[in-house]
Structure 1
Amino acid sequence: MRVFLDENMPRPLRHALAGHEVSYVEKEGWKGKENGELLALVEGRFDVILTSDGNIAYQQTLAGRALSMIVVPTNNLTHLRANGVAILQTLDEIAALDHRVIVTLDWRGRRSLRRLDATGATAVELGPVRPFRG
């Protein structure tokens, strides 16, 4: 999958996402773009955006976007590397879908998924992954 690291994500995380094409704002020349503009740039060029901005789903209109999103509970590189398996598993599950989603992971390893192609879609629980640990 083509994965884009949001500006709030540490760049070395790309090394923990083996098997995926990973890019980030500096590499694309998009540093400093606001969320709405950044999403428009990312959409169509990437399959998934990885972010720790838990508010993005409330600040931006995501319905109808041709982009999936994974929201993780931290942007701490040590925690993210230690939990790379959970992120990779989630990426693999998203790749198998025929629609766009937002998946939110929490510190306990719980994951919720909401479709972005259905107005008013409710979140469903995915199987848990190993809990995020520091």
Structure 2
Amino acid sequence: MKLLVDECIDRKFTKEFVGYEVKTVPQMGWAGVKNGQLLTLAQAEFDVFITVDRNLSFQQNLLQFDNAVIVLQAKSNRLADLKPLVPDILDVLPTVVKGQATVVNERK
């Protein structure tokens, strides 16, 4: 499974996904590309797009894209706040559905 991590997430976050092929938006040369075009580019090469953009599923018709989206909800997009979400992300990765957003949030 190939994962694409949004540019607003620290690139060090990619090291948490051992066994997956993971790239960041900047690594792909797509920094600054708007969400709709980004998802179009990503669907050709990636299975899952990981972002902290909570509005993505409201702004885009995800059904038209051939990849799944995971939206992370934490106190901030700092690495320290996102790392605790990794076990839950790894749990949902096998069940994500193309064309849909799955929300992973911090446990209270």
Same fold (TM over 0.5): yes
**In 1: Cα distance, 2:101 partner to 2:21 partner:** 19
- Superposition pairs for residues 1-134 of structure 1, below 5 Å? 1-74=1-74, 75-94=77-96, 99-100=97-98, 101-107=100-106, 131=107
Contact 2:69 2:101 (8 Å CA) reproduced: yes
Offset at residue 82 of structure 1 (A): 2.3
Counterpart of 1:124? none
Take 2:52 and 2:65, find their aligned partners in 1: how far apart are those partners?
Answer: 19
Which structure 2 residue ranges, 5 or more long, are not aligned?
none
Structure 1 runs of 4+ with >4 Å offset: none
Whole-angstrom CA distance in 2 between matches of 1:36 and 1:60: 6
**Residues in 2 aligned to 1:63 and 1:29: alpha-carbon distance in whole angstroms:** 25
Q: CA deviation at 1:92?
A: 2.6
Which sections of structure 1, spanning at least 5 residues, go unmatched? Answer: 108-130
- Relative to the length of structure 1, the TM-score reads 0.72
- TM (normalized to structure 2)? 0.88
State which structure, 1 or 2, has the greater radius of gyration over its C-alpha atoms.
1
The structure whose residues are more often helix, as a share, is 2
Letter in 1 for 2:47: D
Identity among equivalent positions (%) equals 31
Q: Number of aligned pairs?
A: 105
RMSD (Å), alpha carbons: 1.5
* Structure showing greater relative contact order (alpha-carbon pairs closer than 8 Å, 6 or more residues apart): 2
